[in-house]
Amino acid sequence: MSTHAAYARHGRQGFRKAAWNLSLIALAALFLCGCSGASSEPGGPGAGKGGRGGRGGRGGDVPVMVALASQRDVPVEIQVIGNVEAYATISVKAQVGGQLTKVSFQEGDYVRRDALLFTIDPRPFQAALNQATANNARDEAALGQAQANLARDTAQARYNEAQAARYAQLFQQGVFSKNDMEQWRATADASAQALAADKASIESAQANIGASKAAIENARIQLGYTTIRSPIDGRTGVLSVKEGNVVLANSMELMTINQIEPIYVTFAVPESQLPAIKRYMAQQKLTVRAQAQDDPSEVQTGYLTFVDNAVDMSTGTIKLKGTFPNTNRKLWPGEFVRVTLRLTTRSKAIVVPNEAVQTGQNGSFVYVVKQDRTVESRPVTTGARVDQDMVVDQGLAPGETVVTEGQLRLAPGSRVVIRDGRGARGGRSKS
């Protein structure tokens, strides 16, 4: 290659490198100009005071909704799902066999104590009672006869004994022979044995009378079983045997009766709540409220009356029962209800709306609006939930303003405005 051609080649390469360098310099100048222009916008790093975190200018205000932390008395309660249980359940069975001749109620009727429910054919049992009564009369007559025989034989024995004594005296005097004396002595001894037999007959007749009286009582009881009456006040269930059928003694359930006034509501609570329940039970009767899941407006009130004697190890819960008067019969055996057990009432508790409390990596917190309309992220310790409010145990003072809506756009130090355009006025902390 000639020297001229080599110089020409190197000249073209140098020109290309120079053009590339000039392009890089121009791009760098444009980038710096853009950064300088961004710094001059309101709210940017070079905006002076209020330039950080969206504080500068109205364009950085975050619209929110707020509420005041209030102070009031709140109940300390345990809320669970429970089950209604009949106060007593009676299974009605026949105690004697026979034909069911009458049913004196309709299925589902509310019956009172001693109300007639069923009638079983009483004729066989009435006949048995009549027979037992007749047997007793026979035994009474036998006793009377035995007593009459005793009286007769007693008189005869006295006469024979006197004759035997007289003939013995006359034998000593030589008036009668020894044979006559011995004959009267044998007659007197036979009369004494007859008296012993009469007394035994009387005792036998008395025993027979006792047995016949027992038979009469048993027949009367069996006859009484032919009418079946309600042992409690309650509501009848499904009738399993219809009128006209033959029933057997103690072998079939005719129907059941549930006592629903009063009534139980059974529920279980975690075993961790047991110490508090025992402590508050020692102070006063604990109130229990129950309401149907499909009708929360109907609230029934009762009292805690039973705590089980052991914790269920499989579930870690303990069984409790509340007793309800249920005079309006709204609670029904077997249904599920919402149960609220009130332990005590906490006075002057600080509460905020539920939506004000947020959950972060370090636990619960709220955004508190300060006097300059900026927000502060305040960690809080929450307590029980009461309807739409949350109890705050630590972290807030009464009257402080908390954000209830719009937290997703906030960060500590953000400036806020209430949605209706008024700046939030944070309440002053109370010592």
- Convert the pLDDT of each residue in 75-98 to its tens digit: 888 999 999 999 999 999 999 999
CATH number of the domain enclosing 395: 2.40.420.20
Judge whether residue 147 has pLDDT over 90.
Answer: no
Question: Is 235 within the bounds of a domain?
Answer: no
| Mean pLDDT computed over 343-351 | 89
pLDDT tens digits for range 277-324 = 999 999 999 999 999 887 777 899 999 999 999 999 999 999 999 999
Contact criterion met (CB below 8 Å) for 191 and 156: yes
Q: Which residues contact 192 (CB under 8 A, 6 or more apart)?
A: 157, 161
How, if at all, do strands 287-292 and 295-307 pair?
A: antiparallel
pLDDT tens digits for range 189-237 = 777 778 788 888 888 889 999 999 999 999 999 999 999 999 999 999 9
285 and 339 together in one domain: yes
342 and 365 together in one domain: no
Question: Is 10 within the bounds of a domain?
Answer: yes
- Total domain count, the chain: 4
331 and 376 together in one domain: no
Average confidence score pLDDT of the chain: 82
- The pLDDT value recorded for residue 123 is 95
Q: How far from 287 is each of 76, 326, 385, CA to CA, in Å?
A: 11, 15, 18
400 and 363 together in one domain: yes
Question: Is 169 within the bounds of a domain?
Answer: yes
Which residue bears the tokens 């009356």? 305
Distance CA 379, CA 5 (A): 79
362 and 340 together in one domain: no
321 and 401 together in one domain: no
Tell me which of 210, 225, 240 is where a domain ends: 225
CATH number of the domain enclosing 280: 2.40.30.170
143 and 215 together in one domain: yes
Helix axes 123-173, 178-224, angle to 10 degrees: 170
Domain that holds residue 303: 259-347
For the record, the structure tokens of 31 come out as: 């980038």
What is the CB-side half-sphere exposure of residue 241 using CA atoms within 13 A? Answer: 24
Distance CA 182, CA 224 (A): 63
- The pLDDT value recorded for residue 157 is 75
193 and 167 together in one domain: yes
Specify whether the backbone of 14 is left (phi greater than 0), alpha (psi in -120 to 50) or beta. alpha
126 and 207 together in one domain: yes
Question: Is 267 within the bounds of a domain?
Answer: yes
129 and 189 together in one domain: yes
Question: Is 171 within the bounds of a domain?
Answer: yes
Q: Which residues contact 380 (CB under 8 A, 6 or more apart)?
A: 357, 364, 365, 366, 392, 393, 394, 395, 396
Model pTM above 0.85: no
Question: Is 392 within the bounds of a domain?
Answer: yes
* Top-confidence range, 44-58, 293-307, 413-427: 293-307
Question: Is 50 within the bounds of a domain?
Answer: no
Question: Is 83 within the bounds of a domain?
Answer: no
* Top-confidence range, 40-49, 177-186, 244-253, 418-427: 244-253
Specify whether the backbone of 366 is left (phi greater than 0), alpha (psi in -120 to 50) or beta. beta
For the record, the structure tokens of 192 come out as: 């004494």
373 and 404 together in one domain: yes
127 and 193 together in one domain: yes
